A = this chain, B = another copy of it.
Amino acid sequence: MSTTIRLYAEDQLTGDKQIELSSDQAHYINNVMRLNVGDEVLLFNALDGEWAATIQESKKKRCVLQVGSKTRDTEKMPDLWLCFAPIKKQRLDFIIEKATELGVSCLQPVITRHTIVSKIRTDRLHAQAIEASEQCERLNIPDVKEAVSLTQLIKDWPENRRLFVLDERGGAEPIDQALRTHKDGPHAFLTGPEGGFEASELDLLRKLPFVTPISLGPRILRADTAALAAISCWQSVCGDWQKPLRNRFGEE
């Protein structure tokens, strides 16, 4: 992993500009990481790409940076939504972190009948998505939506986006086959809560023209494992895993 600290910058980034960090970010830089005037960090956002910036001022809750030169251009990210029934905190945090690392563009919490988590702190999930993006070298932050009911999700669903539903019952297409059949996007996955979907929810989903039920093999997977496994398979077949890693050793 890169050792230079990367921070998400809401402001526009251009050469020679002065950027003042938020007080949370300033605290992190000054007090947690203990950087000093003259040290370098990387600032990024989806529109401007990634830029090197040098610390000009570093005092208490204030940190001002001077933007230098651009280190990376904006990149087109794969278009994949993950719709997920919220689960217990530790596993939920894991979904946010891993889904961000694996390049998901939108995270949509969905309340289903068996969902036991009643209150979803969207702002907290958003903060985690930012942190995960900073650490995995993404240039954009996945869009974290407010939670909706399954009924509302279906009602508002954009019909051109294929929704792969992880269906634990028999008869669903193996994921590899489903991805190849429906290779052209845009796509989304829907994973259920710890207790799984209720049979009536799956019956309803199966009837929708934009839904493809999929199977992840003969073993039952936890919700968080299933989400991550599905996204990985998608990236491998439909996403940008055919592209080489940005080379870090100066080789072609």
Chain A contact residues, CB within 8 Å of chain B: 1-2, 75, 94, 98, 101-103, 136-138, 168-172, 174-177, 194-196, 199, 215-222, 225, 228-230, 232-233, 235-237, 239-249, 251-252
Q: Which residues of B contact A75 (CB under 8 A)?
A: 218
Task: Please tell me if the beta carbons of B219 and A103 are within 8 angstroms of each other in the complex.
Answer: yes
CA distance A220 to B177 in the complex (A): 27
Contact (A252, B170) CB under 8 Å given A101-B225, A176-B236:
yes
Task: Please tell me if the beta carbons of A243 and B218 are within 8 angstroms of each other in the complex.
Answer: yes
Most chain B CB within a 10 A radius of its CB, from A75, A176, A246, A251: A176
Task: Please tell me if the beta carbons of A169 and B249 are within 8 angstroms of each other in the complex.
Answer: yes
CA distance A247 to B75 in the complex (A): 43
What does DSSP make chain A's interface, helix, strand, loop or mixed? loop
Task: Please tell me if the beta carbons of A136 and B217 are within 8 angstroms of each other in the complex.
Answer: no
Contact (A245, B169) CB under 8 Å given A136-B219, A222-B1:
yes
Task: Please tell me if the beta carbons of B244 and A171 are within 8 angstroms of each other in the complex.
Answer: yes
Q: Which residues of B contact A172 (CB under 8 A)?
A: 244-245
Query: Nearest Cβ in chain B — how far from A105, in angstroms?
Result: 13
Task: Please tell me if the beta carbons of A217 and B240 are within 8 angstroms of each other in the complex.
Answer: yes
Contact (A243, B217) CB under 8 Å given A174-B236, A251-B170:
yes
- A241's partner among B171, B174, B249, B252 (CB-CB below 8 A) is B174
CA distance A194 to B237 in the complex (A): 26
Q: Which residues of B contact A195 (CB under 8 A)?
A: 1
User: Nearest B residue to A216 by beta-carbon distance?
Assistant: B241
Query: Nearest Cβ in chain B — how far from A139, in angstroms?
Result: 10
User: Nearest B residue to A170 by beta-carbon distance?
Assistant: B247
Task: Please tell me if the beta carbons of A101 and B219 are within 8 angstroms of each other in the complex.
Answer: yes
Contact (A175, B103) CB under 8 Å given A170-B244, A249-B170, A249-B199:
no
Contact (A1, B194) CB under 8 Å given A175-B241, A229-B232:
yes
Query: Nearest Cβ in chain B — how far from A51, in angstroms?
Result: 19
What are 18 pairs between A and B in contact, CB < 8 Å? A94-B94, A101-B221, A102-B229, A103-B217, A103-B219, A136-B221, A136-B222, A170-B245, A171-B252, A172-B245, A176-B237, A176-B241, A176-B242, A216-B235, A217-B243, A228-B232, A232-B232, A232-B233
Task: Please tell me if the beta carbons of B137 and A219 are within 8 angstroms of each other in the complex.
Answer: yes
Task: Please tell me if the beta carbons of A242 and B194 are within 8 angstroms of each other in the complex.
Answer: no
Q: Which residues of B contact A249 (CB under 8 A)?
A: 169-170, 199
